[in-house]
Amino acid sequence: MKKWLLLFFTLSGFFPYVLSSSNLSFESPVKQVALLELYTSEGCSSCPPADRWLGSLENEDGLWQNFIPIALHVDYWDYIGWKDRFADPAYSARQRRYAREQSLGTVYTPGFTYNGEEWRNWFGKRKLNFPTGNMPGVLKLDLDGSQAKITFSPSKTMRHKLNVNLALLGFDLETTVRAGENKGKKLPHNFVVLAINNADLKWKDNQYITHLNIPTSEIDSNRYGIVAWVNASSKQTPLQTVGGWLQ
**Mean of pLDDT values over 5-31:** 59
pLDDT in tens, 175-186: 999 999 999 999
Chain-wide mean pLDDT for the chain?
Answer: 89
Q: What is the pLDDT of residue 102?
A: 87
Look at residue 243 and tell me whether its pLDDT is greater than 60. Answer: yes
Residue type, 11: L
> β-strand 34-40 against 67-73: which pairing, if any?
parallel
Residue 178 lies in a domain: yes
Q: Residue 125 domain-assigned?
A: no
Residue 128: inside a domain, yes or no? no
Whether 241 is in a domain gets the answer yes
Sequential DSSP letters for 54-116: HHHGGGSTTBTTTEEEEEEE-STTGGGS---TT--HHHHHHHHHHHHHTT-S---SSEEEETT
SS3 60: coil
Q: Sorting pLDDT into bands at 50, 70 and 90, what band is 16?
A: very low
145-157 pLDDT, tens digit per residue, is 999 999 999 998 8
Report, in angstroms and rounded to the nearest whole number, the Rg of the chain calculated over CA atoms: 18
Instruction: Note the pLDDT tens digit of each residue in 49-108.
Output: 999 999 999 999 999 999 999 999 999 999 999 999 999 999 999 999 999 998 888 999
pLDDT average, residue stretch 220-233: 96
In a domain, 222, yes or no: yes
Report if residue 129 sits inside a domain.
Answer: no
Among the ranges given (11-20, 74-83, 84-93, 228-237), the one the predictor scored with the smallest mean pLDDT: 11-20
At 103 the pLDDT is: 84
Domain-embedded: residue 78: yes
Averaged pLDDT for residues 3-23: 42
Secondary structure element (H or E) that encloses residue 186, with its range: strand 186-189
CA gap 63, 45 in Å, rounded? 28
Predicted pLDDT of residue 2: 37
> For residue 7, what pLDDT band results from cuts at 50, 70 and 90?
very low
CA angle 201, 202, 207 (to 5 degrees): 95
Number of separate domains in the chain: 1
Residue 180's domain comprises 5-11+22-58+66-119+135-245
Q: Quick check: is 228 in a domain?
A: yes
